[in-house]
Structures are given as structure tokens and as C-alpha cells.
A and B are shown apart, each in its own frame.
Chain A
Amino acid sequence: MGRRDYLGRLFHETDRDAFLIFLVIMAFFGVFLIFPILYVLRGAFFEGNRFTLTYFNLMVTDPFYRQSIMNSTMIGIFTTLLTSLFSLPLAYLMVRYDFPGKRLMQGILLIPLVMPPFVGSIGMKQLFARYGSVNLLLMNLSLIQRPIDWFGGGFYGVIIMEALHLYPFMYLNTAASLANIDPTLEEQAENMGSNGFHLFRTVTFPLLLPGYLAGAIIVFIWAFTDLGTPLIFEYRKVVPPIIFSMVKDIWVNPMGYSLTVMTLVVSVVFVVFARRFSARRSYEMLGRGHIVPRVRNIRGWKLLFVYLFLLIGVLGALVPQLSVIMTSLAEEWFLSVLPAKWTLDYYRIVVTHDVTVSSIMNSLKYSVFSTTIDLLLGVLIGYLLARKVFPGKDLLDSVAMLPLSIPGIVVAFGYIVAFSRTFLNPFEDPTALLILSYSVRRLPYTVRAAYSGFQQTSVSLEEASLSVGASPIRTMMSITAPLIMANVIAGGIISFSAAMMEVSDSLILAMQEEYYPITKAIYGLNLRLGDGPYVASALGIVGTILVTACLLAANKLLGKSMGELFRA
């Protein structure tokens, strides 16, 4: 069959309506994802109409930029290593072993997800600053003479905060992979004489690698591009805060464009490498449907090690949360190990003060709208991908998943430069762009959730409905919708909670107090002298509680499969 015939056939089989919807969706992505990135690219490579590499050259020659890029990369790498060191054994332990308290642990493990690391940093500064609680305690006990710089000028502070926040992503991905390994594969290997570490190295590890890498992608990109945490640590020698500070000179200094492009390139390269690597190694598990993982019991003295490991790691990861809670309740906490007096005043301020109240309302408003867009587009895209035949389907799939590999800071910077001279101008009213940036960034979650809902719902269920006389609309309403509802709602909740605590987009795009979402209000408050950090902490806790409630609901709906949604 010739090419012409083939195209003719494709045209014949194409669902016209599906193709139209596809074009509309692509137009959306074109305007709100591709166009801003192209705009940044142009700004980075062209001065006027002249092609230039001056600013990329500067990244290498200028010691400040060179050092900052180095720092960012190192933060990304060290965070990923630190996270791996903890997450791999943790995943193995949680999937393969049974011990008293495991269920409780599974819940606690997810807590770090709900608070952005930059909020945790506010509390951590109280504990670990030069004259923070820890140093004071150690000096009081005469264990040290002079205060220790725990944060290494901010560098280690950022790494620790990122790792403490991000390890659940890696843990969830790795654990999902591990739980998916058909035990007969390992049993076969044991049957052939392999065991212990050899078995792990030759069979188990290669099989869980795709999940691990998926987690590693998220961790690296996040740590590499996080804006909030270095800002709180006032650590300026990393890329994101530099880009942040350049937003105000976007018309005069192209360096911001170039740094954004560099951030984008590094992220994309990392994603492509990791995907290549895991695609080559992602194996179809032999279709046996339900897999019961091999679970062993731990009893006796070994339990001690398990608890020690969990205590240091998992409970350690809760220190930022606890420190923020303490800060939010401390009437005065200055040059003392523990606050001298406790108060609920800051919560009163949170619910009465103009900026905080409006920030909560703003966040709710932005998130509701962005989630609505995500649900609409997510269900449509999921439906097209799962059920329809049309040219460009693969393209739609890649584009819909693209936001996962594009850092928030790139999207936000792109929006500023691309839309500042349009009616969407964020310098005047960032509402539209905030909503759009939230929805574009979180769209993959709803697409994935809806898609897997459609996948799990056999087409023959819909056909059965048509065959007994129900119209396609009726079929959609009474058969398909109820069956995919749990997935869609869960995807929506995850989108929503992510939008509620979105950092990079919020810090960059929201410039006037009246439009601040929660995160930007926290940032703004923290800069304020006096009660600033305390109110910021209280607001952080309020936001965290909102997000926690959302995630608990999603977890209830999705059960075990929630981890899979966080894959890159």
C-alpha cells in the first residue's frame, strides 16, 4: 500500500471530532507552554535580530555565574544522592518486610510531601541558625564553644531541606516498582542458586530501576530549580534566585533569559537521559494480573535496627514540620533553646489580617480555577489518548506530559516575558497567568489519572451500553463517568493541593500584595521584621493543613496507586 493510500486510510479512520478537539488542545499548549519557552529562547540567543552567545559565554567566564551554576548543579546531585541513600533501603524495607507499626509508618512517610521546603526552612532557621536552638543548647551544655554554621552558608541547608521534602517521591516510585516485581522472577533466580545481595544486584535492582529513575528525575529537577528554599536561606549564589531577581530587568538584561534556558536544558537533558535509560530497562512483567509481593516478617533484635533507621530517617524528616509548628506557636523565640512563651496570636492574625486572609482566598480561587481547567483538559486528553484514533496522538501524549520535565521557574519566567505586553500582563493583574501556570504544570496529573481510568474501563463496557440502546452521551454519563470518577477526582485533588502550595510560579508571577497566593504571602511575611516569620509559619501551617486534608482524600480514593501519579 502506497503512502497516499495510507494517509487516505488514516484520514478515513480518524474521528473528525476527536481531531478537532486535538487541535484546540494543541493550540492551548502552543500558546501557554510552547510559545513562552520559544520567547525565552529567542531572548537568550538574539539581541535585537543578531544571534549571540555572549550571555552563555558569560556563564562560563563570569566567576559569579559559573559558581552559581556549579552550586545549583551540586545541590541537584547531592540532593539526589542523599535521597537515594535513604529511599532505596526504605522502599525495600517497606515493601518486603512486615513489622509492627508498618501501617503507621506508611502514613508518616508521606507527611513531608505536604509542606513546601521553603516553609520548612523558616522553622529550621529557628532551630539551626547561628544563634538558634541547637547551637544554644550545645553551648549551654558546653559541648561547643562557638556556634556551628549548620547550613554551610545555605548550601547544605538547601540540600537538607530538599532531601527531607523530596524523599517520599523517590520512595513512592521505587516502592511501586518493587511491589510490581513478580516474585516468581526472584524465586526462579533463587532456584538457580542466587541469593542475598547477588540476587538483589542481578535481578531485583535492574527490575526496580525504572521506578527509581522516575523518582530521581523529580528529585533532581526540583532541587535544581527550587526558588523558595534558597531565598529563605538568603543563599543567592544559585541560579533560581538570580533568575528571580532578574525579572525586573527583563527588558534590559538578557542574562535572565539565558539562565532560564540553561535551567531548561539541564532539566530536559536529565529527563531524556533517565527516560532513555529506564525505557531500555523497563520490562513488561509477565501478565499474571495480581502480584503478591514477597513479604517477610521481622522479629526480635533485627527490629531494633529497623526502628532506629526509621526513627532517624523518617522522624528526622518531620523536624522541619515540627519546627514550623513551634515557630508558629512561639510568642517570643529569640536566643533561647525553646520559646519562652506560647501563643495562638499568629493564627488569629492569619485569619484576620488583610494580606493573609486575601492570600488564602486568592490561593483557593486560583487553585479552583486551575483545577477546573486541569480536570476538563485532563479528561478530554485522557479520553482522546485512550479511546480515539487520529493523527498526532503521540504528539499529544508527549506534549501533555511535557510540563513534568519543565521547571516551574522556566514556565513562570516565560510567562512574564511572553505576556507582559499583552492584556494578560502580570505586572498589572497576574490572576490569569497564575491560574494558567498552575494548570499547565499540574495537567499531567489529571491526564494520567483520567487516562488510567479510561484504560481500566474496558471499551466493551461502553459498547455493551450502546448495544442495549443507550446513546453515546447516556453511556458516558451512566457507565464511563461513574467508573472513572474516583481516578479523576483523585487527580483533581492532587492538582488542587499542588496548586495551593505552588512556589516558583507564585513567587515570580504575583507581584502586588492584593494578588498574593499563600506561598508568596509566606515569603513576603518572612521578610518582615518583628512577627513576620511567626505569622509566616502560622500561615504555612494553615496551608499545610488544607493540603493534607486534600491528599488524605485523594489517598482514600486512589488507594495504593497514588504513588504512580507522581512519576515523571
Chain B
Amino acid sequence: MVKVTLEGVSKLFGDFLAVDGIDIEVKEGELFFLLGPSGCGKTTTLRVIAGFYKPDMGQVYFDKRPMNDVPPHKRNVGMVFQNYALWPHMTSYDNVIYGLKVRKIPLSERVRRAKEALDIVQMREFAMRYPNQLSGGQQQRIALARAIVTEPEVLLLDEPLSNLDAKLRLETRQEIKRIQSELSITSIYVTHDQEEALSMADRMAIMNKGKIEQIGSPREVYSNPLNSFIAGFIGESNFVDGVVQSVSTDRVVVIAASGDEIHARTPIGELEVDQKVVCSIRPESIHIMDHVAQTSMGIQLFEAEIVSLTYYGVIEHYVLSSLGDMEIKVTNFNPEAKRRLEGEKVYVTFDPEDVDIFPY
């Protein structure tokens, strides 16, 4: 098991700065995610780690070993490509065993390990098929077996599930997670699918425009996003602009553009009175009430009107107009049998603990 460290890594294409001085430390045996919108530099970062690109600045370390001048084939990494990159002129078995042949592993061990790898991905019976005789999911498994059979120090996965259909994607997620933790290989996984990252990652880095916005566990990132980009990219959120009116140890009061007063918990960073800020409130943190009840004393309430609603069975999505004419998205878990109507006047409320404040 190795630790992968990126120190101030930058990569330019022409005059486009694809990766902009990033620092990452991936711990031994960890499943680490690089998550971001397309074009954010996550795949470039992965390819720098694999050695297909040489960074223009900075250094990649495996443990204490600098890797910049080590060519890809001497890095001992396994890689799963987005298009699987299975060699079409070889059977599944030959694809898997190729890396062992290259390493001149003795024949008997070679065969044993290839079979083992095929067993791990449950593809033993398809060993003699050519890639074009396999379904997408099966090809994906062979690609994974090929990447792990050489017992690499680092496993790199470049959007491995993006070519699978939704159902298969869910199954394969669990599969990859299982294999990764069984083998406990230090793994770096690139995706733009936040659900994939949230459900699988030990830790993740959110990338945007070549930079890292935040690194943390899925829970940390989701519940404590460092800025409004992350809050908007990981899950959904409502953003309300406003000005800080007062700051105390545990509460901030913000005057929204509509004049409404919003109470929020005090964030970790510096905050001054009269500073312009953005309040982020997740749709599932907002609750709808039909009328002001006795029990609602002491909580913040805002008038709202239902613009539209969509019923999904398990949940219900609302778009409300509130806080001046702002569109507010609300997710209601456990919807009641009674149907609210578009145009209906209601109240919304949310706990100050669920409001994140970011500098504007």
C-alpha cells in the first residue's frame, strides 16, 4: 500500500490551464474520489498520476518516491478506462493475463492469478470470450480484473461506470467498493456523478476549473460545503443573497434582498456586519406549513406561494415563490395523501442550523 501525494501539480494544454497547482494526499488503502463538472481537470489529474501526462509544475509522489520522470509502464498502477480499452484482438483471459506476461511471472502463477482475478470480478466463465462478445457491464469487469491482476500499488478509475445503464451502475458501484476494500489498494476514482462519489468515497476532492475546492469525507463535504459552488454541485441548494446584520457566537442574522430576516448558524470563517453573503439552504431542509400554528412560535417563518409541484411517490418536489419573488426548491420526504395545489398560499420554515453562509 502506498500513499499518493500531489504537490502543487499544474498542467497546461496550449495556453489552457487544465490543472492549477493542486495539492492532494491520498492515504494508504483509501478510496479517494476526484469529483467535478466536465472540464474541471479531474481526468487530467488522473492521467498525470498514471504518467500519461507530465506535469508542467509540481511533483507526484508514491510514498516518498518522486514519480514525474517515471514512465507510465514503470509506475505499477492499474487503470480502468472510461471506454474500458479492452484489446479487441485478445480474449478476456488474454487481456487479463497480458500484464503478468509482461512482468515475466512464471506460467503456473500467471494462470493462477489470472483465474483469481477473473473470480474476483465473477467473470471466470467468460474468460474465452472476445470483448465484442461481452456486454458493457461484463467488459467493465474484465477491465477491472486486468487492472488489479498485476497487484498494482495504485488503482486508477476514470469514470468507469459512465457507459453503463442506471441499474447496472448501482450494482457495479457496490462491486467496485467491495473489491477495492477486499484488496485494500490505494485507489483514485474520477467521476462527475456526485451520487457515486457520496456513496462510495472514503474521502473526496471537489475540483472546479483546475483547482481543488474542498477535500473531505462525503458527510463533511455535503453538510459543510466550503463555498456556494460546492453547495450547488454536491446536492441541490437554494441560494439567497443578503447582508449580515449581526453576528454572535452561534447565530448570524442576514437581511435578504427581499427584506426578510434569515437566521443562520455562525460559520467557521470571519464574518463582519454589513458584509454581503450568500445563504445556502438545501431543499430537504425546508419545511412547508399550511398555517401558522401555536407550536411554531420562535421559529423563522416565511410566506410562500406554490408555483409547481412534482410527485415522485417517495418524495415530492416543490417550487415555491418566497423571500420576494425568489424561486425556492423544496423536497418533501414522506408526502401526505392530501395534494396541495398550485397557487396555494403556504408558509416555509427551516432550522438556522441548516443554513450555510458563504462570503458573496
> Once the chains are docked, how many angstroms separate the CA of A478 from the CA of B89?
10
> Once the chains are docked, how many angstroms separate the CA of A479 from the CA of B95?
10
B232 in the interface, Cβ–Cβ < 8 Å? no
B78 in the interface, Cβ–Cβ < 8 Å? yes
Q: Report the number of A-B residue pairs with Cβ-Cβ less than 8 Å.
A: 79
Which of chain A's residues have a CB closer than 8 A to the CB of B338?
none
Proximity bits, A1-41, B CB within 8 Å = 1, else 0: 10001100100100000000000000000000000000000
Asked whether A460 lies within 8 Å of B83 as measured between CB atoms, the reply is: yes
Asked whether B79 lies within 8 Å of A469 as measured between CB atoms, the reply is: no
Closest-by-CB residue of A relative to B52 is A463
B339 in the interface, Cβ–Cβ < 8 Å? no
A466 in the interface, Cβ–Cβ < 8 Å? yes
Q: Main SS of the interface on chain B?
A: loop
Closest-by-CB residue of A relative to B94 is A478
Q: How large is the interface on B (under 10, 10 to 19, 20 to 34, 35 or more residues)?
A: 20 to 34
Asked whether B88 lies within 8 Å of A468 as measured between CB atoms, the reply is: no
> Once the chains are docked, how many angstroms separate the CA of A479 from the CA of B88?
9
A488, chain B: closest CB distance, angstroms: 14
Proximity bits, B29-63, A CB within 8 Å = 1, else 0: 00000000000000000000011100010000000
> Once the chains are docked, how many angstroms separate the CA of A308 from the CA of B83?
50
B102 in the interface, Cβ–Cβ < 8 Å? yes
Contact A469/B99 with A9-B14, A463-B72, A483-B88 known, Cβ cut-off 8 Å: yes
B199 in the interface, Cβ–Cβ < 8 Å? no
Contact A467/B73 with A458-B83, A460-B85, A479-B87 known, Cβ cut-off 8 Å: yes
A474 in the interface, Cβ–Cβ < 8 Å? yes
Asked whether B15 lies within 8 Å of A464 as measured between CB atoms, the reply is: no
A472 in the interface, Cβ–Cβ < 8 Å? yes
Which of chain B's residues have a CB closer than 8 A to the CB of A461?
85, 87-88
A343, chain B: closest CB distance, angstroms: 51
A460, chain B: closest CB distance, angstroms: 4
A71 in the interface, Cβ–Cβ < 8 Å? no
Asked whether A469 lies within 8 Å of B87 as measured between CB atoms, the reply is: no
CB contact between A470 and one of B73, B81, B89, B143 (< 8 Å): that residue: B73
Which of chain A's residues have a CB closer than 8 A to the CB of B156?
467
> Once the chains are docked, how many angstroms separate the CA of A474 from the CA of B71?
14
> Once the chains are docked, how many angstroms separate the CA of A468 from the CA of B72?
9
Closest-by-CB residue of A relative to B156 is A467
A282 in the interface, Cβ–Cβ < 8 Å? no
Which of chain A's residues have a CB closer than 8 A to the CB of B81?
460, 463-464
Asked whether A467 lies within 8 Å of B102 as measured between CB atoms, the reply is: no
> Once the chains are docked, how many angstroms separate the CA of A135 from the CA of B234?
88
CB contact between A464 and one of B51, B74, B87, B89 (< 8 Å): that residue: B87
Asked whether B89 lies within 8 Å of A469 as measured between CB atoms, the reply is: no
A482 in the interface, Cβ–Cβ < 8 Å? yes
Proximity bits, A453-488, B CB within 8 Å = 1, else 0: 000001011011111111110110011001100000
Which of chain B's residues have a CB closer than 8 A to the CB of A12?
56
B167 in the interface, Cβ–Cβ < 8 Å? no
B12 in the interface, Cβ–Cβ < 8 Å? yes
CB contact between B99 and one of A458, A460, A468, A472 (< 8 Å): that residue: A468
Which of chain A's residues have a CB closer than 8 A to the CB of B56?
12
Asked whether B99 lies within 8 Å of A470 as measured between CB atoms, the reply is: yes
Asked whether B85 lies within 8 Å of A463 as measured between CB atoms, the reply is: yes
Q: How large is the interface on A (under 10, 10 to 19, 20 to 34, 35 or more residues)?
A: 20 to 34
CB contact between B150 and one of A468, A472, A478 (< 8 Å): that residue: A468
B74, chain A: closest CB distance, angstroms: 7
Asked whether B102 lies within 8 Å of A468 as measured between CB atoms, the reply is: yes
CB contact between A463 and one of B50, B76, B86 (< 8 Å): that residue: B50
Asked whether B15 lies within 8 Å of A471 as measured between CB atoms, the reply is: no
> Once the chains are docked, how many angstroms separate the CA of A497 from the CA of B50?
45
B146 in the interface, Cβ–Cβ < 8 Å? yes
B77 in the interface, Cβ–Cβ < 8 Å? yes
Asked whether A468 lies within 8 Å of B98 as measured between CB atoms, the reply is: yes
B281 in the interface, Cβ–Cβ < 8 Å? no
Which of chain A's residues have a CB closer than 8 A to the CB of B86?
464
B64 in the interface, Cβ–Cβ < 8 Å? no
A568, chain B: closest CB distance, angstroms: 31
Which of chain A's residues have a CB closer than 8 A to the CB of B15?
1, 5-6, 9
B162, chain A: closest CB distance, angstroms: 14
B4, chain A: closest CB distance, angstroms: 15
B44, chain A: closest CB distance, angstroms: 14
> Once the chains are docked, how many angstroms separate the CA of A478 from the CA of B147?
18
List residues of A (161-216) whose CB comes within 8 Å of B's CBs.
none
Asked whether A467 lies within 8 Å of B147 as measured between CB atoms, the reply is: yes
> Once the chains are docked, how many angstroms separate the CA of A468 from the CA of B156?
11
> Once the chains are docked, how many angstroms separate the CA of A294 from the CA of B57?
54
Proximity bits, B140-154, A CB within 8 Å = 1, else 0: 000100110110000
> Once the chains are docked, how many angstroms separate the CA of A65 from the CA of B52?
61
Contact A468/B146 with A6-B15, A9-B14 known, Cβ cut-off 8 Å: yes
B207, chain A: closest CB distance, angstroms: 21
Contact A467/B12 with A460-B83, A479-B87, A482-B89 known, Cβ cut-off 8 Å: no
Which of chain A's residues have a CB closer than 8 A to the CB of B12?
9
Asked whether B85 lies within 8 Å of A458 as measured between CB atoms, the reply is: yes
Closest-by-CB residue of A relative to B79 is A467
Which of chain A's residues have a CB closer than 8 A to the CB of B52?
463, 466
Asked whether A464 lies within 8 Å of B73 as measured between CB atoms, the reply is: no
Asked whether A468 lies within 8 Å of B147 as measured between CB atoms, the reply is: yes
Asked whether B73 lies within 8 Å of A469 as measured between CB atoms, the reply is: yes
Asked whether B98 lies within 8 Å of A470 as measured between CB atoms, the reply is: yes
> Once the chains are docked, how many angstroms separate the CA of A469 from the CA of B77?
8
Asked whether A469 lies within 8 Å of B147 as measured between CB atoms, the reply is: no
Which of chain B's residues have a CB closer than 8 A to the CB of A5?
15
Give the interface centre of A461, A471, A475, A482 by most chain B CB atoms within 10 Å.
A461
A478, chain B: closest CB distance, angstroms: 8
Q: Sample 27 A-B pairs with CB under 8 A, ordered by A number.
A: A1-B15, A5-B15, A6-B14, A9-B15, A458-B85, A460-B82, A460-B83, A461-B85, A463-B52, A463-B79, A463-B81, A463-B85, A464-B85, A464-B86, A465-B98, A466-B51, A466-B52, A466-B73, A467-B50, A467-B73, A467-B78, A467-B147, A468-B73, A468-B99, A468-B102, A471-B102, A483-B87
Beyond the given A463-B72, A482-B89, please list 18 additional residue pairs across the A-B interface where CB-CB is below 8 A. A461-B87, A463-B85, A464-B81, A464-B85, A464-B87, A465-B73, A465-B98, A466-B52, A466-B72, A467-B79, A467-B156, A468-B102, A469-B103, A470-B98, A470-B99, A471-B73, A472-B71, A483-B88
Q: Which 8 A-B pairs have the closest CB atoms?
A: A468-B99, A460-B85, A467-B79, A464-B85, A1-B15, A466-B72, A470-B102, A466-B73
